[in-house]
Structure 1
Amino acid sequence: MSISPARSQRGMALLVSLVFLLLLTLIGISSMQNATLQEKMASSVSLRNQSFQAAEAALRVGESAVQLDSYSLAVCNGIRQCEPPAESSTVNAAGFNSNSGVIWIASGNAFYGVQNIGTTVTAVNVPSATSATLYRITAVGIAGNSRSVVESIYAKY
C-alpha cells in the first residue's frame, strides 16, 4: 500500500502559516515599540520647545519691566549675589531667594528674576561717555519635565 503525496502533506500548510503568523507578530511588536519610542521623543521635543518659548516670553516681560523709567533696583553686593542665580535650575515658585538676592516673579508657566549688576561707560549701543546701568534678566520656563533657562543683559541709560 502506497501513501499518496496529498495525504503526506496534511498539516504542513498549517505549520507554515503558523510560522508566517509568528514572524508577522514579531514584526508588528517591533514596529509598535519603535512607534512608541518616536512618540516619546516627539513629546520631549514639544515640551522642550514649550519651556523655551515660555522662558523667552518671561524674559521679554522682565526686559519690559526694566525699561520703565520708574524701575529701580539696588546694585547686587558681593560676588555671590552678582553671579547668575544658581537656583535657576531648581526654582518652582515666585519669591525671594536669600542666597542670590533675586526676587523671582511668575509670568505664565515661567519665572523671571532681575539683578542690577552695576554701571558701565563701555556698553554696546550706548552713546560714548554715557553711563549705563546693567541689569541681568534671567528667565526660567517650565513645561512638563522640561526646563529652559535664558538670560539677557539689558543696558539702561
Structure 2
Amino acid sequence: MRRQRGIVLLTGLLLSLLVGLLAASALQDALRLARSTAQLVISAQALEQAEATLLEGRDRLLRAPPGPCAPPCAPPVEAHDVRGSSASWQRAEQGFFLLQNLGETTQAVHVPEGVAVRVFRVTAVSQHSTARHVLEAVYAVETGQATNVQRLLWRQRLREQ
C-alpha cells in the first residue's frame, strides 16, 4: 500500500511539472505575440505618418514650388536617415518631406499628349525612427495652372541592407 502511494505521488508531481511547463510555454507564446502585435501597430502608425506627410508635401508644392534641381536629380539615398542628410528636408507635423522639381515635359503619363506639365517628386519620411516608412510620389502640375495637381506614380521605399 505504501509503495502505491509513492507512485501516485510521483505521478502527480510529474503531471504538475508537465502542466507547469505547458503553461510557461503558452505564456512565452503570448508574450511573443504581444510584441509582434505592438510592432505591427507601430509600423501601421509610421505608414500613416508618411502618408500624411506626403499629402502635406503635395500641398506645400502648390503654395511654394521649388526651383529646378541640379542633374541628375536622383531620389535621396539617405531617406531613412534624414538627420545626416545633405538634402534640404522640410519639417512637417508628422515627419519630413523633400520637394524636387524634375523639370518640364509634354510626355507625362496620364496627361493628354502635348500638354506641358512640370514634374515634381515628393519624398516623405515618417517621424517614427524605429519603424520608419519612406513614401515617394511624382506629381504633374500643368504649366500656368498651379491648382491642378495630378499624381503620376508613387512607391514605398524600403531600407536597403
Q: Same fold (TM over 0.5)?
A: yes
Structure 2 unaligned segments of length 5 or more: list them: 143-161
Q: Which is greater in Rg? A: 1
Unaligned runs of 5+ in 1: 1-5
Give the letter for the 2:65 counterpart. S
How is 1:124-143 mapped onto 2 (pairs within 5 angstroms)? 124-143=109-128
Distance 1:9 1:125, change over 3 A: closer
CA RMSD after TM alignment: 1.8
Mark the CA change 1:114 to 1:144 in structure 2 (over 3 Å): closer, same or farther: closer
How far apart are residue 92 of structure 1 and its match?
Answer: 4.2
Match of 2:34? Answer: 39
Identity, % of aligned positions: 32
1:51-92 deviation digits (Å, cap 9, x = unpaired):
110000000011111123xx232111122xx10111211114
Give the deviation of 1:12 after TM superposition.
Answer: 2.1
Q: 1:73 aligns with which of 66, 69, 74?
A: 66
CA distance, structure 2, for counterparts of residue 125 and residue 16 of structure 1: 75
Structure 1 residue ranges (4+ consecutive) displaced by more than 6 angstroms after TM superposition: none
Q: Kindly tell me: are residues 34 and 144 of structure 1, through their superposed partners in 2, closer, same or farther at Cα, counting changes over 3 Å?
A: farther
Greater length-normalized contact order (CA 8 Å, ≥ 6 residues apart): 1
- State the distance in 2 between where 1:135 and 1:35 align: 47
Q: 1 CA distance for matches of 2:2 and 2:28?
A: 42
Paired amino acid for 2:71: G
In structure 2, distance between residues paired with 1:26 and 1:38: 18
Q: Tell me, what secondary structure is at the counterpart of 2:60?
A: helix
CA distance in 2, matches of 1:10, 1:125: 85
TM-score by length of 2: 0.80
Query: Residues of 2 paired with 1:146 and 1:53: CA distance?
Result: 11
User: Structure 1 pair 10/125, CA: closer, same or farther in 2 (3 Å)?
Assistant: closer
Partner of 1:9: 4
Deviation at 1:124, TM superposition (A): 3.0
- Is contact 2:52–2:94 with CA below 8 Å preserved after alignment? no
Q: Distance in 1 between matches of 2:23 and 2:3?
A: 33
Structure (1 or 2) with the greater helix fraction: 1
TM-score, length-scaled by structure 1: 0.82
Counterpart CA distance in 2 for 1:55 and 1:125 is: 24
What is the alpha-carbon distance in structure 1 between the residues aligned to residue 88 and residue 129 of structure 2? 23
What amino acid maps onto 2:79 in structure 1?
S
Question: How many matched pairs?
Answer: 142
Question: What is the aligned partner in structure 2 of residue 91 from structure 1?
Answer: 82
